[in-house]
Every structure is written in C-alpha cells, then in structure tokens.
C-alpha cells in the first residue's frame, strides 16, 4: 500500500531580486506503509525541503504530495517531525516535554496521557529521568525525548531530519540501533534524511540518492540486508558494496557541480 506519494514535486523560493530559486525539481517517490526510507544527497539539495512538503509545512510550487491517496494541505496528526536540533522546551521536564503533543491534540484523557508517556519513556530507555530537565541530559538522551514525544502522538508517518547529526560517533551508532529497535516494534512509515552513508544503509529498506541543487532523484537503491540488524552488519560484503556505490554517486555529483561552477 502506497503511504507517501510524491509526484513531480517542484519547490521554488522567492529571491530578493524578484526571481525564484529552484530547490527541488521533478521529485518522484512512492513510500509503502511501514517502509523505512532514507534520503542522502549533497548539502543544499533539498532533503529537508522534501520532508517539509510531506509534513505540509511547505506547499509544492508544482506537482503534488499525497498521503494515503489524499493531497497534503497542511500539517496533520498522522505525521510527526523529529529535528536535528532537539527542540525541547527547557522549562519542561522529560515527562512534560513528551506530554506536549498529546496536550495540544486534546484527544487523550489526562489519565491515559500519563500512561502513554510512561510507556514511551520505557521504550526509549529513560526510566529514572522523568523529572529531569533538558539541560540535565546528554545529547543522546535529549534526542530520545524528541523521538518519544513524536511517537507518543501515534503518527502513521515519522519524518526525521538528520536527528543524530549533532551527536558524537559512538552515541550516533547507539541511537541508530535504538531507532531500529523501536521501528521494529512500532512499524511506522519512516522518511529519514541523513548525510551519513553508513547510517542510510544501516537503517533503510531503500535509499534515495539525490542530485545537487535543484534536488531530484538520482537513484533509488533497494537494501537487501536482512533484518533485524545489528552494527556487525556493517562488515558484510553487501553493506560495503552499497556504501561504495552511494559514495560513487555522490562523488560524481560533486564533480558535476564543481564542473558547472568552473564553467560559469
């Protein structure tokens, strides 16, 4: 079942001189329900813009974005966005930060909110830190709060914009493994933007490689690595082959862009 359907999506932004900047062009992607899809590409190629289109924060200048066959007209409770910045409210505790989305929705009774928050605190491994404030947590723990807050509103689709980019390498690997564990339990549809090729391969069912600006699909690569996965899978020949292939595509794109700049 197609869950996210992006058809010839184009996004432009106005320029100070009155012109338009083409950020995304002719972007096509279909994501199945429960699928984990990662997006990689050069800096400034429109990866985050695509997530914003799916979330309904940006309306396409051309083409269309569909969720369950219906046009995206704005943000909805069926989608949740996890940012690179932790975006936690500093005056709220772990518990109350996770409660925030549920409180804003006004759909869940107070007694059930507390039970849901407790459930997701356990799921992301933050038992004992319920009363802590963000400044009392490590970066990895703050990102766990962000993920729990997104999951607590029970979205069908989880949109993740480089959520682990600010973490150190070891914490980043731990969080990637934790995310896969949670995804195996929840089976949300995930669209995950990253600059890390290893992260893209490790997490995904499919990897979307974008061209440079304007962003469009260069190649969509299926990942045949078995699930469930652990970090040892990075030593397998197929993982290494996929990493090299994606790196080659990105290197070609970098050379193409450099050539274009040299010729301009």
Tell me what pLDDT residue 34 has.
Answer: 96
Interstrand relation of 36-40 and 20-32 (parallel, antiparallel or unpaired) = unpaired
Residue with tokens 């590409």: 41
CA distance 53 to 6: 9
Predicted TM-score (pTM) of this structure? 0.89
pLDDT in tens, the chain (264 residues): 899 999 999 999 888 887 888 889 999 999 999 999 999 988 777 889 999 999 999 999 999 999 999 999 999 889 998 887 767 899 999 999 998 878 877 777 777 888 888 988 988 889 999 999 999 998 888 988 988 888 888 899 999 999 888 888 888 888 899 889 889 988 999 999 999 999 999 999 999 999 877 778 999 999 999 999 988 999 999 999 999 999 999 988 877 766 655 554
CB-based burial of residue 169 (10 Å sphere; 0-12 exposed, 13-18 middle, 19+ buried)?
exposed
Tell me what pLDDT residue 190 has.
Answer: 96
CA distance 184 to 176: 12
Tell me what pLDDT residue 132 has.
Answer: 95
CA distance 155 to 148: 11
Tell me what pLDDT residue 143 has.
Answer: 86
CA distance 42 to 211: 7
Tell me what pLDDT residue 264 has.
Answer: 45
Question: Which residue from 208, 200, 198 is spatially nearest to 234, judged by alpha carbons?
Answer: 198
Q: For 124, which DSSP code?
A: T
Q: For 211, which DSSP code?
A: P
State the CB neighbour count (10 A cutoff) for residue 134.
19
Residues 6 or more apart in contact with residue 57 via CB below 8 angstroms = 75
Domains of the chain and CATH, by start: 2-78+157-263 (3.40.50.300), 89-154 (no CATH)
State the CB neighbour count (10 A cutoff) for residue 64.
14
């Amino acid at each position: 079942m197609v869950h996210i359907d992006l058809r010839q999506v184009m996004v432009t932004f106005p320029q100070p001189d009155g012109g338009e900047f083409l950020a995304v062009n002719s972007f096509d992607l279909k994501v199945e329900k429960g699928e984990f899809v990662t997006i990689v590409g050069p800096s400034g190629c429109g990866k985050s813009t695509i997530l914003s289109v799916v979330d309904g924060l940006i309306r396409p200048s051309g083409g269309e974005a569909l969720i369950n066959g219906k046009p995206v007209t704005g943000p909805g409770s069926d989608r949740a966005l996890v940012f690179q910045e932790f975006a936690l409210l500093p005056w709220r505790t772990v518990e109350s930060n996770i409660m925030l989305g549920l409180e804003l929705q006004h759909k869940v009774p107070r007694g059930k909110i507390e039970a849901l928050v407790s459930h997701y605190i356990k799921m992301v491994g933050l038992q004992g830190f319920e009363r802590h404030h963000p400044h009392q947590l490590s970066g990895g723990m703050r990102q766990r709060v962000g993920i729990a807050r997104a999951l607590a509103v029970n979205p069908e689709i989880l949109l993740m914009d480089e959520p682990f980019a600010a973490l150190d390498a070891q914490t980043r690997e731990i969080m990637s493994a934790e995310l896969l564990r949670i995804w195996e339990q929840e089976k949300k549809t995930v669209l995950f933007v990253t600059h890390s090729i290893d992260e893209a391969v490790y997490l995904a069912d499919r990897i979307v490689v974008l061209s440079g600006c304007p962003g469009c699909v260069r190649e969509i690569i299926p990942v045949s690595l078995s699930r469930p996965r652990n970090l040892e899978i990075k030593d397998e020949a197929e993982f290494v082959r996929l990493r090299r292939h994606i790196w080659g595509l990105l290197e070609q794109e970098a050379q193409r862009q450099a050539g274009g700049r040299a010729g301009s």
